[in-house]
């Protein structure tokens, strides 16, 4: 039995503050954030003016509903710097994630934003029992994805020794755990499961290893998958949530007292739960779409971001002592975004790539499966009769070219399977482009 009273809390004063105090902090920050955004971002100024709303109209937290929603399309329209609220020479880092079409969503951070981000990560790390001196091995990629660098800085701030191994090369990861005495692994749950399987094949002794904690996130982590990793790797794992548009990882984190929920960093994010169809608030504790307003994001503020993630939020006290509201872990999205090994993929991106290739029809199907513990995506592409050839070399070169084009846009490797003309099943109703065969644990 864990004794939560003796477990470290990164920012005890804030993380265990009475709820009235949290609401006071949120309101003060919301007023400032709306004024900051209105003064500096033309897109929002226009939208607020159209609604006849001025920053001074924000008098209560509920007044957030006077503000317009933001979704991915706004970030796409204003790509790359249209929503930035600080001069670019004050931006110290850029990150991006997939948009619904070819262009990514770009976000920037100034020194202040990086500081807030690191604090949020340090908090979730301590929720999982990570302490200064832990040796944290990164299995997220260090690219434009927010997972790698975001967690890296926060863990370093906490006082961990970072081992920036990056994504892939599982055998090397296993060797590093042994060589460097790694105690914390940062990964998507699917990659952790893959490491587990590869390790077992190679005779890696998880029980004897130094590894103690897994910090997961970036994709849904079904409870059964987590339990399985915990028992096979002999570690404790937490599942942590976030999204690029509002910061990256660090929006909410699982504590060890409430394993199916995640504490939202409420002093930095105002949450709402709305009906995904109407955008109206749902009653307290009822499931709906999570809408987030970052409360002190300077470089690229966003108001009322529609996450498309379905969850419910509760505000009752938690046994860990933290008072920040908890959201149910996200299992389902309200849109068609797929998460493939932590990377966001939209069927529309596949469609755009295929539209630019001569010799293929508009019919395609995406099949997602779990292979060796990892997500595997295959795009079935229907050939036009004119492009059909009985030369094996030609067909395999064509397949390779399509796979390369898809990878360049999706940023994740996919298999391509060519299908003869008419070979993709036609649907009478809504076309089903995606078949997700991954086990629903
Ligand atoms: O995945 C940020 C992140 C990185 C979080 C590493 C945690 C760890 P995006 O690439 O923008 O950002 O993808 C955001 O991924 O809207 C959810 O649909 C999904 N997602 C992220 N974390 C979780 C999670 C990062 N723990 C989108 N459980 C979000 C379920 C998650 N879904």
**pLDDT at residue 192, as a whole number:** 93
Full set of structural domains in the chain with CATH: 4-335 (3.40.50.12780), 340-436 (3.30.300.30)
- Please give the number of the atom of ligand 1 that sits closest to the Cα of 333: 18
Distance 34 CA to ligand 1 centre (A): 25
Q: What is the pLDDT of residue 101?
A: 65
Among protein residues, the one whose CA lies closest to atom 13 of ligand 1: 243
Atom of ligand 1 nearest to the CA of 308: 16
Task: Say yes or no: CB of residue 199 within 6 Å of ligand 1.
Answer: no
Produce one character per residue of 203-217: b if its CB has 16 or more CB atoms within 10 Å, e if not: ebebeebebbbbbbb
Distance 387 CA to ligand 1 centre (A): 39
Ligand 1 contact via 40 beta carbon (within 6 Å): no
Please name which of 266, 265, 267, 270 lies closest in space to residue 253, comparing C-alpha atoms.
265
Per-10-residue mean pLDDT, the chain, length 441: 89 98 98 98 98 98 98 93 98 88 87 98 98 97 94 98 95 98 95 91 97 95 90 98 97 96 98 96 96 98 97 96 97 88 88 90 90 92 89 94 94 94 73 82 61
**Of 75, 33, 66, which Cα lies nearest the Cα of 47?**
66
> Could you write out the DSSP letters of every residue in 114-141?
HHHHHHHHHHHHHHTT--TT-EEEE-S-
């Amino acid at each position: 039995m864990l004794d939560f009273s003796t477990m470290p809390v990164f920012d005890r004063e804030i993380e265990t503050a009475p709820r009235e105090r949290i609401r006071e902090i949120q309101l003060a920050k919301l007023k400032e954030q709306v004024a900051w955004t209105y003064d500096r971002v033309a897109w929002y100024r226009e939208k607020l003016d159209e609604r006849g709303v001025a920053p001074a109209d924000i008098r209560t937290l509920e007044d957030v509903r006077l503000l317009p929603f933001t979704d991915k399309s706004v970030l796409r329209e204003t790509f790359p710097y249209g929503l930035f609220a600080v001069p670019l020479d004050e931006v110290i880092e850029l990150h991006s994630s997939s948009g619904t079409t070819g262009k990514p969503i770009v976000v920037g951070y100034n020194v202040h934003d990086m500081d807030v981000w690191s604090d949020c990560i340090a908090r979730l790390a301590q929720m999982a029992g990570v302490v200064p001196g832990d040796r944290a091995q990164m299995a997220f990629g260090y690219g434009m994805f927010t997972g790698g660098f975001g967690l890296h800085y926060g863990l370093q701030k906490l006082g961990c020794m970072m081992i920036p191994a990056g994504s892939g090369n599982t055998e090397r990861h296993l060797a590093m755990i042994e060589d460097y005495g790694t105690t914390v692994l940062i990964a998507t749950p699917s990659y952790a499961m893959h490491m587990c399987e590869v390790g077992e094949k190679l005779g890696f002794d998880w029980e004897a290893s130094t590894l103690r904690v897994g910090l997961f996130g970036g994709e849904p982590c079904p409870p059964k998958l987590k339990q399985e990793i915990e028992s096979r790797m002999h570690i404790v794992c937490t599942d942590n949530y976030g999204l690029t548009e509002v910061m990256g990882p660090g929006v909410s984190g699982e504590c060890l007292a409430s394993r199916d929920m995640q504490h939202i960093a409420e002093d930095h994010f105002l949450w709402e739960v709305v009906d995904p169809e109407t955008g109206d608030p749902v009653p307290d504790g009822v499931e709906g779409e999570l809408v987030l307003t970052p409360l002190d994001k300077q470089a690229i503020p966003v108001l009322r971001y529609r996450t498309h993630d379905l969850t419910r939020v509760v505000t009752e006290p938690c046994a860990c002592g933290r008072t920040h509201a908890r959201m149910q872990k996200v299992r389902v999205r309200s849109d068609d975004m797929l998460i493939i090994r932590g990377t966001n993929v939209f069927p529309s991106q596949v469609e755009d790539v295929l539209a630019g290739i001569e010799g293929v029809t508009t019919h395609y199907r995406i099949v997602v499966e779990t292979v060796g513990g990892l997500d595997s995506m295959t795009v079935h592409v229907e050939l036009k009769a004119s492009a059909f050839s009985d030369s094996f070399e030609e067909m395999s070169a064509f397949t390779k070219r399509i796979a390369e084009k898809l990878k360049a846009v999706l940023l994740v490797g996919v298999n391509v399977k060519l299908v003869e003309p008419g070979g993709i099943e036609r649907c009478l109703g809504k076309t089903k482009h995606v078949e997700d065969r991954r086990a629903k644990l």
